[in-house]
Amino acid sequence: GVVSRDAGLEEVLELCLDLSPDGLPVVVPTRARVEAMLSGAPSELPSRVLGLVPPLYREATVTRVAVAAVMAGCSPGHFPIVLAACHGMLSEEFNIHGVHATTMGASICVLVSGPARGLVNASTGCLGSGHRGNASIGRALKCLLYTVGGAQLGGTESTTLGSSNKYTMCLAEREEVLSSPKDTNVWTPYHTDRGFDASVSVATVLPVTSGPCQLVDVFTKDPQELVRQLAAIAVNAGYSRSFAMLSSCLIVLSPEHYELLRTRFPSRAAFQQALWTECNAQVSPFIGRTIARVKLSVQVLRPMLAALISLVGLVLALLGRPQSFCPKFEASEDMHVVVAGGDAGKFSAFLPGFGVGFRGMASARMSVPVSRTITGEASGTLPTVSEDLDTKVPLKYLDPLAQPTLAPLSLATRRGRFQGAVGLLDISKGCGKEFLDRLEDLFRALPDPPVIHRFTKPTFSRPAPSSLRQETLALCSHVVGALAD
């Protein structure tokens, strides 16, 4: 909806704070600025729906994304990148509901590769401040989660500590460094390793739970020694060594480290395999606890099994054949390696992903990186302040918080007894089953016990599958969920 209000300069400045979803001032989304933003992607229909934004699962139309991009400070040239990133963020594989809601503090990182990377800083300070594209593109996604999705800090966003990544995280790969003529060992761009043509621009959204965890290196001249140092950071980045099978990790190599590594590793895949193997060697003394905790239900036997497995892993590492039955990262390709940063400085960084554990576990692959093509060429310009704001007439802007009114919810009538079957839903987090076991015992001890049905979500970080929701609706009049945290 359009809001009209009398506004002098002070009122406009105050409005920039009133509309803010993250505590920093935003750009007021006037109609002129939103239309200018839409001109950055002229082939897009403003009414097209990119997906549903949790936690309220409202529609993200192209216009609503444009409003968020204006608020975040994007230029029309950034808008095609924002649209591609939004499309990836709202995909089922990325699971933005789990990423944004977790107490772990996960957030979204946008990686731009291909020709559009020129709109984003890939050089000095690429993970920090100082560049409009890096600051505003990631922030636009955050604005969308609040204005359209209805997210609230302390409510559906329950991060324990949080991080500055929650404001924005966006970078580009410095592909110019990859094509350096110094020798023939040059790596291909990141997006081509993911199956895209080199001429195509791609936005990849990656879940990051912490970091950047930086390796400070000054003296290393041997590429294999550098791999060992990088692995020492990787195995502890965000997760302790006893956590295995991480679903993903973003690794940002500085140009100086890249120049050294490519003298031994002719491709990104070769480096990924070497780093994956070295990580497995370094976690070998600790994997016993991981496997015993996951695979053995008899607690008294866990220390013995843990010691035995760790001993086997340590012996294999000493023999130069590191174990791979309980790897630190699920696969070498789950280590997403890009080259970025300034020319000077032997520093590289790790940003671990969201998901850990063997396939089939509730905590495994809770979110995975998703790549989407950036369509259209950058175009359009924003109006000047004098064109946009005439303080002699009421200021008109698109209300970013305007949404259809939801029907109010009310508690069901308390009748003193349960009428109909009761469902007990385990969300697959620790101790949920034990809680529901006790609750079921109490139900069955009632003089007139209800029929009990037990249900389990495949993973706690994602909404329940439609089939599970339909089953509970068909069988139960009441559902009790065992939550956690």
Query: 243 and 381 in contact (C-beta within 8 Å)?
Result: no
Residue 182 has a pLDDT of: 58
Using alpha carbons only, give the angle 331, 332, 338 rounded to the nearest 5 degrees. Answer: 135
Q: How far apart are CA 386 and CA 75, in angstroms?
A: 17
Low-confidence ranges of the chain (pLDDT < 50): 296, 298, 390-392
- The predicted-structure confidence for 326-378, as pLDDT tens digits, reads as follows 788 999 999 999 999 999 999 999 999 999 887 788 888 999 999 999 997 65
Residues in the chain: 485
pTM value is 0.87
Using alpha carbons only, give the angle 193, 195, 198 rounded to the nearest 5 degrees. Answer: 75
Which has the closest alpha carbon to 215: 227, 204, 205, 206?
A: 227
CA distances from residue 280 to 212, 295, 448 in whole angstroms, order as listed: 21, 19, 56
Residue 376 has a pLDDT of: 76
Q: Radius of gyration (Cα) for the chain, nearest Å?
A: 25
- The predicted-structure confidence for 290-314, as pLDDT tens digits, reads as follows 665 555 454 555 566 556 666 666 6
Residue 362 has a pLDDT of: 85
**Token output for 230:** 């990088």
Which has the closest alpha carbon to 190: 87, 254, 267, 138?
A: 267
